[in-house]
Chain A
Amino acid sequence: MASPFLSNSTISFSSSLKSSTLPRLFPSVSFSSIRFKPTPRRILTVRSKIREIFMPALSSTMTEGKIVSWVKSEGDVLSKGESVVVVESDKADMDVETFYDGILAAIVVGEGETAPVGAAIGILAETEDEIAEAKAKAASNSGASAPSAPPPPPAPAAGSTPAPPNSTPAYAAPIASEGLRKTVATPYAKKLAKQHKVDTESVVGTGPYGRITPEDIEAAAGILPSKTNVGPVVVVEVKPAAPTKATSDSSAPSSIPPPVPGSTVVPFTTMQTAVSKNMVESISVPTFRVGYPVTTDALDALYEKVKPKGVTMTALLAKAAAMALVQHPVVNASCKDGKSFSYNSNINIAIAVAINGGLITPVLQDADKLDLYLLSQKWKELVEKARAKQLQPQEYNSGTFTLSNLGMFGVDKFDAILPPGQGAIMAVGASKPTVVADADGFFSLKNKMLVNVTADHRIIYGADLAAFLQTFSKIVENPGSLTL
């Protein structure tokens, strides 16, 4: 039962001579004799014994094969009958052995690549003297057989990548040696480069420490359509960068202006990466903003009263927002799939906190249900934990509504970016004495604070937000209910 699948079954390929005028020769399947039908006589006149190794047909249904591994590497001496390469067909993996003695001069199709049956996958040279010639042949061969090679590099990329060294040869060379910095490419980038036949030397790394990332290779190979268009621009940008002799990199990344001399690249910390990711994600959400002035005299008076009991302004605002959200559940909802409202059963107020080199949003869970004092105590614990970087995931990612307060810095109003997975975020400015006129035309001085809510317009509409802000404003203006 298993025998057809045994991987130790071997099969032989026949390599045959190829002179330049010969059409591609047929591979000979397993033990069939070598076919030199077209011009058997000419072969005798060919002096250099350079043979091609073909992708054998291992089964009747096989049209292409994948090179599993090369048992031999370039430069290895082969003797007749030795296994050279393992080929995976549609049915099994087979060791393929050589019919000829010689030296494996070049591998045309690398490991993991696919080639159609009959395509040259390697070049066999008879003597060492012929290796160079064989290699040249391999080079021309791989060029000629490009259409059959799996992913042909698109023309624009191929054209543009070699351009920089050509256009600025005088500068390019000294910089490379001066920097004492070789090209650093990540393992996957190297794999992609090999697969797409991209020369890593010609790619500018945009990763941390200027390393070449898989994205850089994909861009160079023209896999991302947007980048191929940028291709020619790269050449232009390299020119000004080169004479400045930037120390960090020999040239500039394609989409970013060249680094200013002496600048340093500091990679993101994990937290900063997360912030960056969340911020970019927010771009996909259609947001809008509604501002509202809130009179805070009563709130300020209350704050003075409860401050000695350890209540902070943050807790007061969180409580007020939570109570307003109870009445406007849609503002506490979120849109997860673009097709539906996700109403949250709990009101969890996330509050943005700046911590050393980062930003985190500890969450006051069930802020509507807890009383002000408990909430304040909870908040104190959360902040301490955040500073010590000991927050548990549910303590920073369970928010249903976010509060960001920059009032303590004197900021009068600002605009917040909606975090992913939430429906709205409230940006709170400083409370400032403002002259207001009432309905009867009397002027008075009131403390006013501007709040600005950013919301996801797929689920929260202008009127919703206005109504929510009105409720919020009423609660803040009559804060007695906050202490209940």
Chain B
Amino acid sequence: MHSICSQATAVPRSNFAFDSHAPALPISKPINLRFCGLRKEAFGFSGLTHSCSSRVRFTSRGHSKRISASAENNGTPPKSFDYDLIIIGAGVGGHGAALHAVEKGLKTAIIEGDVVGGTCVNRGCVPSKALLAVSGKMRELQSEHHMKALGLQVSAAGYDRQGVADHANNLASKIRSNLTNSMKALGVDILTGFGTVVGPQKVKYGKVGFPDNIVTAKDIIIATGSVPFVPKGIEVDGKTVITSDHALKLESVPDWIAIVGSGYIGLEFSDVYTALGSEVTFIEALDQLMPGFDPEIGKLAQRVLINPRKIDYHTGVFATKITPAKDGKPVTIELIDAKTKEPKDTLEVDAALIATGRAPFTNGLGLENINVETQRGFVPVDERMQVIDANGNLVPHLYCIGDANGKMMLAHAASAQGISVVEQVTGRDHVLNHLSIPAACFTHPEISMVGLTEPQAREKAEKEGFEVSVAKTSFKANTKALAENEGEGLAKLIYRPDNGEILGVHIFGLHAADLIHEASNAIALGTRIQDIKFAVHAHPTLSEVLDELFKSAKVKATASSHVPVSEPVAV
């Protein structure tokens, strides 16, 4: 997702952090400052702690001869670890952590058993964005009405499946090599093989058939990610019954495909498949489509993304058995009622995509060696991503980020968690605010959100005794959206009228995924509505949708403001 691009350009940013000395910076948001001095102190401190614990398992391997320059400069005792930090898994989370670790002067290694980039880059967000880019363009070209309204004439739009598939594949390899190069350029050691924790601060890795290597590190981050979850009873053959891994290769475009699960993955694929001419049937276990989205956004999304398209759906049903097409028979799907468990229906379709979520990939990590029990496969962690063992105690020097801990299964969340861990191991306590992490679904138009949904906010408000207000703006009033003839859309702000705190923002509309960051940054930085409403937006841009959203919120005049302007102010 977007995080990749920012990671790839992290080199100059890190220079900035080292060169700039703190006092020069304006002190308004203390959270963001990087003090070099602090970092040095952190090394001194952490050096002490690990020297005690390392007495027992001193390793005299070749790796350990090299000592990281920063540590030497600080006059800490020679280290007895091969690395300061080892990250198991080179997905987006591991990559983000590695880059930040280098910036912080840590000697870092990353272990990857498959391909650099992990799910996101190779089998997830990245190739799917390529397919969605194609589907967006196809959709536009095919919409005669839309084209006519713009005064354009386009003759029958067609596509070459292989060409589309190649585009997705090429994008994945390009991003993968960017990722690999950025780590190599910074001096992150990429170790190949499956990593296993063999004991505290000790990891084994190696390829099948080769002798294992054992490396030690002061701190270890598990970032092994996840794999598509396939419920039992479903037989995946990779041809007619597929997961997102197969679908992204776009080896075929079936006439009729059933998509099991209507979350992000299912929804995005329904966008791709219908644009390429397939008909889609959703199968959703819950009573409504798109669970997890704000209900109002979900309703609107259904009106725009489902109802007018060649899509139908079965809700409140489980697919208990899915048999791939063979012997001249189509794919059959047996449905039962999710509540009564009574057989309900049997579908016959050309293909089925299983998009029922993702399962953590934590088998073979050797967690039993350090007395950690996974919960449904997820590695239990505390709010600082530190791993919790079977007795409920924190495991020192072991962290788990990303899909493997299941806190928030998004690539950029993993990366943020990784950065947070690196902050901690370099001595600065940091707790990531997950409510500030945006999420996006790249349908046409896009859906994005950050923070709480309206029901969640109301529940919280009732518990904690505050008032909740909702403000909404429509894309129908936005000049830029209308210029694009894409006026369908809604932005929704959930906030506290008493102090102007933003609780959640949900956007459905053109480029919603890019628009959400103004809101997520405001939440992350604690900016209040009464302050952000004075920020200026270029006209005419889509960002004015959010501008209006903030302006239309009614914050009580008594709420304090950081900006030295008294309210109300006529603008």
Contact = CB atoms under 8 A, between A and B. Distances in A.
Interface of A: 1-8, 68-69, 92, 111-112, 184, 186-188, 190-191, 207-209, 211, 214, 264-266, 270, 392-393
Given A69-B299, A208-B255, A393-B160, A187 B307 contact: no
A69 B303 contact: yes
A398 to B, nearest CB: 12
Contacts of B310: 186-188, 191, 214
**Which 3 A-B pairs rank lowest in CB-CB distance, beginning with the nearest?**
A187-B312, A188-B310, A5-B474
B477 A188 contact: no
B348 to A, nearest CB: 6
A191 B474 contact: no
Interface string B146-164: 0000000000000010110
Band of interface residues on B: 20 to 34
Contacts of A5: 473-474, 476-477
Contact of A270 (B252, B279, B311): B252
B473 A2 contact: yes
A187 B330 contact: no
Contact of A209 (B311, B312, B348): B348
B552 interface: yes
A3 to B, nearest CB: 7
A259 B300 CA distance: 45
13 contacts: A1-B548, A2-B474, A2-B477, A7-B300, A7-B490, A111-B307, A187-B256, A187-B281, A187-B312, A207-B255, A208-B255, A211-B348, A393-B160
B472 A209 contact: no
B312 A264 contact: no
Nearest to B163: A393
A315 B275 CA distance: 41
A191 B350 CA distance: 19
A96 to B, nearest CB: 15
A2 B256 contact: no
B472 A190 contact: no
* Most chain B CB inside 10 Å of its own CB: which residue of A8, A112, A186: A186
A264 B328 CA distance: 8
B554 to A, nearest CB: 12
A68 B279 CA distance: 22
Contacts of A207: 255
B308 interface: yes
Interface string B288-330: 0000000000011011000110111000000000000000111
Contacts of B162: 392-393
Contacts, number: 67
Nearest to A207: B255
Contact of B348 (A3, A8, A184, A214): A184
B336 interface: no
A187 B311 contact: yes
Given A6-B473, A187-B310, 20 more contacts: A1-B548, A2-B473, A2-B474, A2-B552, A5-B473, A5-B474, A5-B476, A7-B472, A69-B299, A184-B348, A186-B310, A187-B256, A188-B279, A190-B312, A207-B255, A208-B255, A209-B329, A211-B348, A270-B252, A393-B163
Contacts of B385: none
Contacts of A209: 329-330, 348
Contacts of B163: 393
Contacts of B350: 208
Interface string B122-146: 0000000000000000000000000
Contacts of A112: 307-308
A3 B307 CA distance: 26
A208 B476 contact: no
B512 interface: no
B215 interface: no
Contacts of A266: 328
Interface in B243-294: 252, 255-256, 279-281
Contact of B474 (A6, A69, A187, A190): A6
A1 B477 contact: yes
B312 A8 contact: no
A8 B279 contact: no
B161 to A, nearest CB: 8
B355 to A, nearest CB: 17
Nearest to A186: B279
Contacts of A265: 328
Nearest to B474: A5
Nearest to B256: A186
Nearest to A189: B279
A211 B490 CA distance: 38
Contacts of A211: 256, 348
Nearest to A5: B474
Nearest to B281: A187
Given A7-B474, A393-B163, A2 B312 contact: no
Interface in B545-563: 548, 552
A448 B281 CA distance: 59
Given A111-B307, A187-B310, A208-B330, A92 B476 contact: yes
Contacts of A264: 328
Given A190-B312, A208-B350, A2 B548 contact: yes
B312 A6 contact: no
Contacts of B312: 187, 190-191
B239 to A, nearest CB: 12
